[in-house]
A and B are shown apart, each in its own frame.
Chain A
Amino acid sequence: MQRRYRTIPDLKVHESAHALAFEDPALAGKLTAMGLLPGTLIEMVRTAPFGSAYYIKADGVRLALREEEASSILIDV
């Protein structure tokens, strides 16, 4: 069966999707405390100038995430 989710790096600039779940439990603790929860609408704003990091908006809050952090957040299709 094909997986029915993507991760944040799959988003194109200005594209949005809802967060579904977190793969890294330690990071999940940090992100949920910062207000990024399962169900939060996430918008890709841009990638970092030297790559490997993302600038996203989660329900109006601006966050910077590393590549591996962003790819541990599952989002809907």
Chain B
Amino acid sequence: MSEARDKLLNIALVGNPNCGKSTIFNQLTGLRQKTGNFPGITVEIKEGRMQFPSGRQAILTDLPGTYSLYPTSSDEKIVASVLTNPKDAHYPNVVIYVADATHLEKHLLLLTQLLDLDIPVMMALNMSDTAEEIGIKVNAGVLADRLGIPVVAISGRTGANIQKLIAEIEKLSDSTAFSEKHFYPLQEVEKQVAEAVCLNFSLTNAYQALLLAHHYEWLPFLSEQNQETLRAIVQDKGLASLRFQVDETLDRYDRFTPIVQEAVQRPPQFPSTPTDQIDAVVTHRWWGPLLFFFVMLLVFQAIYDWSTVPMDWIEQFFAQLNVWLTDILPVHWSTDLITDGILAGLSGILVFIPQIAILFFLITVLEEIGYMARVVFIFDKTMRRFGMNGRSVVSLISGGACAVPAIMSSRTIGNWKERLITTMVTPFISCSARLPVYAVLIGLAVPDKRVFWIFSWQSLTFGSMYALGVVAAFASGYLMKKVLHTRESSYLAIELPVYRIPHWRNLWLTVWEKVGAFVIGAGKIILVISMVLWALARFGPGDAMAQAATKARQEAQKQQLNQTEAADLLAAYQLEASYAGYLGKVIEPAIRPLGYDWKIGIALIASFAAREVFVGTMSTIYSIGSSEDAFILREKMKKARFEDSGTPVYTLATALSLLVFYALAMQCMSTMAVVKRETGSWKWPLLQFSYMSLMAYLLAWVVYNVFA
């Protein structure tokens, strides 16, 4: 298998941000793509398979968009680290350089750097149809001649000339020749550095050597010893990295600008696009923030309203499947494992698909049309007060659906501190998993009475839970900003792209990919945890479970319960006798000050895997496991009393205290796993867990004592 892969061609797509690279990637690979983990650093890159007409296959890698090989964010660093390391698994045999034909004069810098690295490269001149529409004529022949590489004018939008592009790639990969044009003549100091590096690392390409010297501090493939060697060379020769980078960039512009002027004919005046008129509203002092508010309202409406029907379908499907399997399978603990452990876990994962799909669909639409860049611009100042960056808005908004993809989206933040704070506070935003918990508890304890005209106490409590999360996120951001120190500078400096109509293909593929990543990534963890939980609830110490069963049967006979009621009673007694019940009682003294009994204790323990487990666990505890009906559950919970004092468990104070606890506590294994992956150590997720739990505990205690 690996041998077969070795023979496959490695092709990489490289280009500036907003050049339309991902559209071309989707055109070339379709559904044959996956998101892989990038070894060494915690960034994902997209990979896909493409096939040549001859039947040969190749792996196409979509490298993140970057303006140059001098990166400023972890996304961009990948490009430099792949292209300076021929031993990298993704090191390309051929690069397809994607350039925007409407802005060619800004899109050739990175290309000239690739040419100096002697990587076989060809140019895909994207958006050539749009360029023609606005009167820009690009002479591909002149470009090909002056750059010494094949140039194909294409349109990622319509797919025009994609076949020609594929044919050119194959031709180029057979020849293994690279352009003989070089652009940047090294300055004297750079020459000396490059010679020393070439000698020490037995390299032949001077520009590659120079890049190693510029980036030795963070290039992931260098050993500590390598870094020492490079540091010594840089210091010895006096390579002032930043100054040389700028000089090099300017020199490159001087060299390729004449080529662009020769190859491109543009109208005397910049054609006006609707972008300026749209931005007059979208980034307007008043209309801008107002529009943002409405867009967010729409997104939330979509997530909650449009998803209910498909979510019901999924739940009903699993309920039916459960009934059917219980009927046909023998009565045995392994049947219970399948129905109560695995199926319950699967349903808990799959039920989130509609919400995640809708959220990503909308976020991708906003991203594709170019709106997100404007949001970053509008809120940059506000976010920076709280230690974050304009780009953090996107993460926090996504956190309203699920913290896992939201945290993944923080990768575009260049500054380490701002990115870390965004990662740390995003889980405070009330995600969709808290929704069912809020619904049960609010229905239970908050009176359904109207205040003012249209508001009810219930909806106000609901809103307050979201507000609480937002306040907690910003407050902790502010705190972390004061505590954490970094000398790294932070930049906004982003391009506000021209507004575009989204490509449907890109949209569907993104949704498909994100849903897949959730089901497989988070799904694995949820499935394992739900099986562990099942075992904790199914088995007990010694013969405790058998005794509980006998007791339940006697009780059922005494009360003359019907079959379902008797079975539910049995489940409740057994849960109390199980390891889970035992654990609940162990932690009861710790949670009693918050107003919780051991039954809530069980639900809390279970919820540390994932919050949505709360409703299911409570249903089992209150012996309505067979129906999981929120209404019946509420009726049962209303009647619950403390075993020692006989006072009701679910007073308004307890319910509010529980609500606050669920709003603030870090009860999500998947989020912790993602934070570990993104920060590269367990230090941060553990800190986050302790901090959030402590905050949840203290505030829940305060709320309980205020309302009790």
Contacts and interface: CB of A to CB of B under 8 A. Distances in A.
Nearest to B381: A52
Given A53-B377, A60-B270, A27 B491 contact: yes
A25 B243 contact: yes
B339 interface: no
Given A33-B249, A37-B253, A62-B496, A48 B381 contact: yes
Contact of B491 (A49, A51, A66): A66
A49 B68 contact: no
A31 B106 CA distance: 11
Contact of A61 (B68, B103, B242): B103
B227 interface: no
Contact of B493 (A52, A59, A62, A64): A64
A61 B18 CA distance: 12
A64 B106 contact: no
Interface in B368-400: 373, 376-382
Contacts, number: 110
Chain B contact surface mostly: helix
Contacts of B380: 48, 52-53, 64, 66
Contacts of A28: 242, 246
A45 B284 CA distance: 11
B67 A34 contact: yes
Nearest to A53: B380
A46 B283 contact: yes
Interface in A1-54: 22, 24-35, 37-38, 45-46, 48-53
Interface in B73-103: 103
Contacts of B103: 35, 60-61
Interface residues of B, number: 42
B279 A55 contact: yes
Given A29-B249, A62-B496, A35 B381 contact: no
A60 to B, nearest CB: 5
Nearest to A65: B493
Contacts of A48: 283, 377-378, 380-381
A66 to B, nearest CB: 4
Contact of A65 (B70, B382, B492): B492
Contact of B377 (A55, A59, A60): A55
A44 B288 CA distance: 18
B250 A38 contact: yes
B245 A29 contact: yes
A29 B379 CA distance: 25
Contacts of B382: 50
A30 B156 CA distance: 27
Chain A contact surface mostly: mixed
Interface residues of A, number: 33
A74 to B, nearest CB: 14
Nearest to A31: B493
Nearest to B276: A45
A54 to B, nearest CB: 9
A37 B497 CA distance: 19
B495 interface: yes
Contacts of B72: 26, 29-30
Interface string B478-491: 00000000000101
A42 to B, nearest CB: 13
B492 A34 contact: no
A55 B496 contact: yes
Contacts of A77: none
A64 B245 contact: no
Residue of B245, B289, B377 with highest tally of chain A CB at under 10 A: B377
B495 A61 contact: yes
A62 B242 contact: no
Given A30-B72, A49-B289, A69 B491 contact: yes
Nearest to B266: A60
B367 to A, nearest CB: 16
Contacts of A51: 381
A64 B249 contact: no
B109 interface: yes
Contacts of A33: 67-68, 70, 109, 249
Nearest to B243: A25
B286 interface: yes
Contacts of B67: 30, 33-34
B170 interface: no
Nearest to B242: A25
Contacts of A45: 276, 279
Interface string B103-128: 10110010000000000000000000
Contacts of A61: 103, 106, 495
Nearest to B285: A49
Contacts of A35: 103, 105-106
A69 B493 contact: yes
Given A33-B67, A49-B288, 14 more contacts: A24-B489, A26-B242, A27-B493, A29-B249, A32-B253, A35-B106, A37-B253, A38-B250, A48-B377, A49-B378, A50-B289, A63-B493, A64-B492, A65-B492
* Chain A to chain B: the 7 pairs with minimum beta-carbon distance, closest first: A35-B106, A33-B67, A33-B68, A62-B496, A64-B377, A25-B242, A52-B381
27 contacts: A24-B489, A26-B489, A27-B493, A28-B242, A29-B70, A29-B72, A30-B72, A32-B249, A32-B250, A32-B253, A33-B67, A34-B106, A34-B495, A49-B289, A49-B378, A50-B289, A53-B380, A55-B283, A55-B496, A59-B106, A62-B275, A62-B279, A63-B495, A64-B373, A64-B376, A64-B377, A65-B493
